[in-house]
Structure 1
Amino acid sequence: MAQTLYLSLLLIALCSISECVQRQYHFINKNKTWTEAQRYCREKYTDLATVDNMNDMIQMNKSVKVNDGYAWIGLQRTSVYKWHWSSGDSVLFLNWASGQPAGGDNCTVMRNGKWFVEPCSDAWTFICYNMSRGLVFVNQTMNWRDAQSYCRQNHIDLVSVRNQNENQQLEKFINDRNSSGSAVWIGLFRDTWQWSDQSNSSFRYWDTIEPNNAGGHENCAVIYLYNLKQWNDILCDRQYAFVCHEDKLIVIQQNLSWSEALRYCRQNHVDLVSVQSVEMQRRVMNVVKLASTEAVWLGLHNFCSMNMWLWLSGDMVCYQNWAPGNGSTPENCKLENRKGAVQSGGDQTWISLPESHRLNFICTNY
């Protein structure tokens, strides 16, 4: 009994400290146009820098060796508007009111459970998400970007809604706290910006009045290297230093058993990938779309004697993204030798499969 308790406490401690660097940034102090910088990064590393969250911002800032001027990042304006969640969650569910989205407005409010677009400059109360507290109603009126900044500084981000059940829960939460029935900001917005590596990242860190597309041709993004490192849109043919990123996940389009995939990764890279956080799951979701099989092997395996799943890195499965009906250890665990895979389509949750299945797989260079 004491031994079991000790093991449980140890595993909790391991969950609390488990962390990994997910993307490496390289500051290149050579002046090039955006297109020239993109070509350089793709030849030497992975691509011009993509940023998923404030942790990435901190890591990218650490790579920068000067404190003045501009540096290109991998964000470029396109002609296609696309909806994003501020938190970076995939847009899997929409709940527009009849006739919405209407007009050219780019930010979203919820009113009576339905979604409406509004000018981002309007002031409304808003809902943040907090990891420990869940939903947080902020009874202050702000424009959308100020509300986003408030949530990121004090909680996690503006709230995301991933399905009908979450929408109903959010509607009830708002009704219990907002008797006036007025609209509240949620984290859904749209813009025409796309990352060079085709990442789905919706993280933006624009300076106060940016992007303003001055002159109608400011189609590339730079980071201002002084002070807060916020972003600006600027003409793509200007010449600046730039930041590349080196992504450490590689989809191997060969159909191998789990054991064969493990051997391949360890011989040619470092290991099969471990997914220990929401951020790493997003990285996996960005690369798994390159796969040619319906599921892709992860470095996730049953530790039968302990009746639990573990990552090959030795870490316990703290962050969970199992599909319904998966994740429990089967009674005939040792006979089946089941391993973990991520679905390459749909909501890209994890499933358990016999290790003899032949699938694509993701190697890591971390």
Structure 2
Amino acid sequence: MNDMNELKKSVNGVGQYVWIGLKKTGVDKWQWSSGEPALYLNWKPGQPEGRDYCAMMRNGLWEDLPCSDNRNFICNNRNTGLVFVNQMMNWRDAQSYCRQNHIDLVGVRNQDENQQIQKIINDNHRSDAWIGLFRVRDPWQWSDQSNSSFRYWRSGEPDNGKGRENCTISNQIARGQWADFSCMNQYPFVCHEDKLILITETLTWPEALRHCRQNYTDLVSVHSEEMQRRVMNVVKRASTEAVWLGLQPYCSMNMWFWVSGEILCYQNWAPGNGTTLENCSLEERKGAVQSGGDQRWISLPETHKLNFICKNDE
């Protein structure tokens, strides 16, 4: 909704309708409750059968089931990691429970995480549990291929009038709410350019800083929860377990600050990170964000080679 509010401000006075980047594709796909695409898959042979829309794990393998089935489930928690919930719920209720009490239904990025989840199921003497994988029935997709389930349709929309309305407008008279229109119509449109650029080359922190300053503006600084959310969307595509930020220590003051010169007001450290700077000058450490899990900040030796995020203010 923050993006919608920005959109409404940017198009004020340009006309009733403006194109946005949502288009009907008709492609079903499996994705995680967090919005991440399902890159690692571990289906049981013969699964998914294609009839059902939610996934559970049994003996380390995945099966698709009706979302109305009741199962135990596993949540991600920001502080304690994986949490087995010994309550029987359907998939949607389990998703709501995890989002209200933890972070989300668990996602699985690799074989190690898959084994951890199966161990938790076994340790709780259960045979199976819901995981956060579901089949996306929404045929609409953003033109930049981003995974966002946010929709702002006007009541009665999309209605596919005359059977050929495959593109989306924002109706400024209807508080910016959306409707499907024929892609052949001509309206003003809104372009988007992300100011955060993930560099998938692996460099040390000083090399990453130099690269960003030579080619963009700087290594990214994260001054707010809103900026952290933007960073979290970007690092999902990283190839390293952590990604460099523009975060460095000020040893004599025992504190951290951003390369932009500001001290930390908003903070998002993982437990055990960022609190003390003992032996700070002996081992140069810099700040990074985890690319998996709950994507908290960690401190690492600056000689580690990681992906990194540049910001571009031009």
Which category of TM-score, normalised to the shorter sequence, fits these structures?
0.5 to 0.7
- 1:319–1:90 CA distance, 2 compared to 1 (3 A): farther
Instruction: Name the CA distance, whole Å, in 2 between partners of 1:136 and 1:344.
Output: 25
Equivalent of 1:338, from 285, 302, 313?
Answer: 285
Indicate the SS of the match to 2:231.
helix
Instruction: Report the alpha carbon displacement of residue 168 of structure 1 after superposing the two structures with TM.
Output: 6.0
Greater fraction helix? 1
Aligned to 1:248: 195
- 1:308–1:284 CA distance, 2 compared to 1 (3 A): farther
Indicate the SS of the match to 2:311.
strand
Q: How many aligned positions are there?
A: 296
Equivalent of 1:195, from 124, 132, 142?
Answer: 142
Aligned to 2:31: 84
C-alpha offsets along residues 98-144 of structure 1, whole Å, 9 cap, x if unaligned?
53221255x3154768754457xx756697889799888998879x6
Instruction: Name the CA distance, whole Å, in 1 between partners of 2:181 and 2:98.
Output: 26
Is 1:60 aligned with 2:10? Answer: no
Contact 1:100 1:116 in 2 (8 A): yes
Instruction: Name the CA distance, whole Å, in 2 between partners of 1:182 and 1:255.
Output: 39
- 1:155–1:361 CA distance, 2 compared to 1 (3 A): closer
Contact 1:343 1:351 in 2 (8 A): no
Aligned to 1:362: 310
Instruction: Report the alpha carbon displacement of residue 273 of structure 1 after superposing the two structures with TM.
Output: 0.5
Aligned to 1:11: none
Is 1:318 aligned with 2:264? Answer: no
Indicate the SS of the match to 1:280.
helix
Equivalent of 1:221, from 147, 164, 168?
Answer: 168
- Which amino acid in the other structure matches residue 302 of structure 2? P
Indicate the SS of the match to 2:189.
strand
Aligned to 1:273: 220
Aligned to 2:248: 301
- Which amino acid in the other structure matches residue 365 of structure 1? D
Is 1:285 aligned with 2:231? Answer: no
Instruction: Name the CA distance, whole Å, in 1 between partners of 2:178 and 2:117.
Output: 32
Contact 1:124 1:184 in 2 (8 A): no
- 1:360–1:136 CA distance, 2 compared to 1 (3 A): closer
Instruction: Name the CA distance, whole Å, in 2 between partners of 1:210 and 1:67.
Output: 23
Instruction: Name the CA distance, whole Å, in 1 between partners of 2:236 and 2:31.
Output: 14
Instruction: Name the CA distance, whole Å, in 2 between partners of 1:205 and 1:340.
Output: 35
- 1:239–1:351 CA distance, 2 compared to 1 (3 A): farther
Instruction: Report the alpha carbon displacement of residue 74 of structure 1 after superposing the two structures with TM.
Output: 1.7
Instruction: Report the alpha carbon displacement of residue 298 of structure 1 after superposing the two structures with TM.
Output: 2.2
Q: Which has the higher contact order (CA 8 A, sep 6+)?
A: 1
- Which amino acid in the other structure matches residue 108 of structure 1? C
RMSD: 5.6
Contact 2:30 2:133 in 1 (8 A): no
Contact 2:249 2:286 in 1 (8 A): yes
Instruction: Report the alpha carbon displacement of residue 167 of structure 1 after superposing the two structures with TM.
Output: 6.4
- 1:223–1:331 CA distance, 2 compared to 1 (3 A): same
Instruction: Name the CA distance, whole Å, in 2 between partners of 1:316 and 1:111.
Output: 41
- 1:73–1:329 CA distance, 2 compared to 1 (3 A): same
Consecutive unaligned residues in structure 2, runs of 5 or more: none
Contact 1:296 1:344 in 2 (8 A): yes
Indicate the SS of the match to 2:193.
strand
Contact 2:196 2:220 in 1 (8 A): yes
Contact 1:272 1:362 in 2 (8 A): yes
Instruction: Report the alpha carbon displacement of residue 255 of structure 1 after superposing the two structures with TM.
Output: 8.4
- Which amino acid in the other structure matches residue 169 of structure 2? V
- 1:214–1:361 CA distance, 2 compared to 1 (3 A): same
- 1:341–1:56 CA distance, 2 compared to 1 (3 A): same
- 1:95–1:198 CA distance, 2 compared to 1 (3 A): same
C-alpha offsets along residues 257-296 of structure 1, whole Å, 9 cap, x if unaligned?
644654665677543103465513334326757xxx9986
Instruction: Name the CA distance, whole Å, in 1 between partners of 2:16 and 2:86.
Output: 39
